[in-house]
Amino acid sequence: MSDSKRWNWQQSDWPNFRFDAGRLATLEERFLREAGFYSGTFTHLADEKRDLLAVEMMSEEAMKTSEIEGEILNRESVQSSIRRQFGLSTDSQRIPPAEKGISELMVELHKQFNATVDEPRLLHWHGLLMNGRRDLSLIGGYRVGGDPMQVVSGAIYDPKVHFEAPPSSMVQAEMRQFLDWYARTAPNGDNRLPVLTRAGICHLYFVSIHPFEDGNGRIGRALAEKSIAEGLGHPVLIALSATIHRTRKTYYDMLEHSNKRNEITDWLVYFAETILRAQGESQSWLDFLIKKTKMLDRLRGHLNERQEKAVLRMAREGPNGFKGGLSAENYLAITGTSRATATRDLQDLVEKGALVSSGQLKGTRYWLVIQEAGKS
């Protein structure tokens, strides 16, 4: 391939993506089957518990989609913002702009899962995500300027270009074509696509255009999640970003492998398998959060302030808990108490059935009773 036709958008078949539907069929069937199980578990919860679980899962997804791009947010602020939007009680702390923006986007994705995706909505999402930024020339608008938009790594004197997006002069037309494709491939569109296939193409197509100065990955993942919700016909709580975050090098490698041609079967298989892993992780989170809620209900009024703080901090780590288990040193760091008090608190938590311990002396480790002891 000549350098002049190096990228997918430069080739004559762009954006007519080709793929082997047969390699995706089994993955599509498995996704729909397991989506039914997951939805059944969630919808049988009482409304208040459903909202509380949604807040926790959406908070985790908000944190991870930002971490993929190197942005570390304050979890308490994210969760507080989402709780407010669900009408749940929370503190009156001021929410920083970045946490407020991503929280509003996550709630909009959930509550308006079937809303039309058009240019005003995408510009609105960009405005939310870039809330408070002072380093961008344009927020809430497609990129402008003559410099190429490149994804680059390596030293300044020897850079490696992983991708170069279409010039800004092409973005408006490319995005009109993308939005037309998105509408045509929707469940009620003329060219309806299976759920995972559409989500995978949607993400790759959008990030290939790279229409914004920043935030393209986060909006691309949001579009993939919205596409999944549209395909299922109801809001979804899926740990897509959390799953990508754990293997983000593979994610970026696959994006790079797939941006030089428009036969994208390998990308779609990878993305479908990622969604399936995310679906399984979401089910694990749901099971964990249900058990955690029951545990906290049982312990309510029986823990002191230090113990409650530590248990909640452990629960925040999700189904796998602290890597290697909670140590006495962890407890000291979380609570700021004395070593003697920490020893008494931890033993009391074991006796009350909140924690289970393993090991001896300095090697003693603790897990919530809803986790598998020794699991790392």
- Nearest-angstrom CA–CA distance, 359 and 102: 41
- The pLDDT of 237-242, averaged and rounded, is 94
Q: What is the full DSSP assignment across 176-218?
A: HHHHHHHHHTSTTSTT---HHHHHHHHHHHHHHH--SSS-HHH
pLDDT of residue 71: 94
Contact between 332 and 345 (Cβ < 8 Å): no
Confidence of residue 3 (pLDDT cuts 50, 70, 90): low
- Nearest-angstrom CA–CA distance, 145 and 149: 10
284 compared with 273, residue with greater pLDDT: 273
- Nearest-angstrom CA–CA distance, 149 and 144: 10
Retrieve residue 207's tokens: 């990030």
- Nearest-angstrom CA–CA distance, 2 and 24: 31
pLDDT of residue 210: 97
Residue 374: is its pLDDT beyond 50? no
Within 300-338, residue ranges assigned H as helices are: 305-316, 328-335
Which CATH architecture is the domain 303-368 placed in? Orthogonal Bundle (1.10)
Dump pLDDT digits (tens) for 37-72. 878 777 777 777 788 888 988 999 999 999 999 999
346 compared with 371, residue with greater pLDDT: 346
Confidence of residue 114 (pLDDT cuts 50, 70, 90): very high
- Nearest-angstrom CA–CA distance, 263 and 345: 59
| SS3 labels along 288-305 | HHHHHHHHHHHHCCCCCH
Contact between 295 and 369 (Cβ < 8 Å): yes
Topology at the third CATH level for domain 3-287: Fic-like fold (1.10.3290)
Contact between 15 and 262 (Cβ < 8 Å): yes
Q: Count CB neighbours of 128 within 10 A.
A: 24
- The pLDDT of 142-149, averaged and rounded, is 89
Closest CA to 234 of 148, 333, 325, 110: 110
Output the pTM of the full model: 0.85
- Nearest-angstrom CA–CA distance, 308 and 310: 5
Confidence of residue 97 (pLDDT cuts 50, 70, 90): very high
Q: Taking CA 82 as the corner, what is the angle to CA 77 and CA 85, rounded to the nearest 5 degrees?
A: 130
Residue 372: is its pLDDT beyond 80? no
pLDDT of residue 203: 98
Contact between 60 and 285 (Cβ < 8 Å): yes
- Nearest-angstrom CA–CA distance, 1 and 102: 40
- Helix (H) / strand (E) element for 3: namely none
Residue 344: is its pLDDT beyond 90? yes
What's the whole-number average pLDDT of the chain?
Answer: 91
Residue 297: is its pLDDT beyond 80? yes
Contacts of 143 (CB under 8 A, 6+ apart): 149, 168, 171, 210, 211, 212, 213
- The pLDDT of 234-253, averaged and rounded, is 94
Confidence of residue 4 (pLDDT cuts 50, 70, 90): low
- Nearest-angstrom CA–CA distance, 177 and 93: 43
Retrieve residue 166's tokens: 């279409």
- Nearest-angstrom CA–CA distance, 239 and 277: 9
Retrieve residue 89's tokens: 């009680």
Residue 5: is its pLDDT beyond 80? no
- Nearest-angstrom CA–CA distance, 35 and 374: 30
pLDDT of residue 371: 56
Dump pLDDT digits (tens) for 73-89. 999 899 999 999 999 88
pLDDT of residue 197: 98
In angstroms, how far is the first alpha carbon of the chain from the final one? Answer: 46
Dump pLDDT digits (tens) for 161-185. 889 999 999 999 999 999 999 999 9
pLDDT of residue 320: 72
Alpha carbons within 13 angstroms on the beta-carbon side of residue 310 total 29
Confidence of residue 23 (pLDDT cuts 50, 70, 90): very high
For the chain, domain boundaries: 3-287, 303-368
- Helix (H) / strand (E) element for 21: namely none
Dump pLDDT digits (tens) for 257-271. 999 999 999 999 999
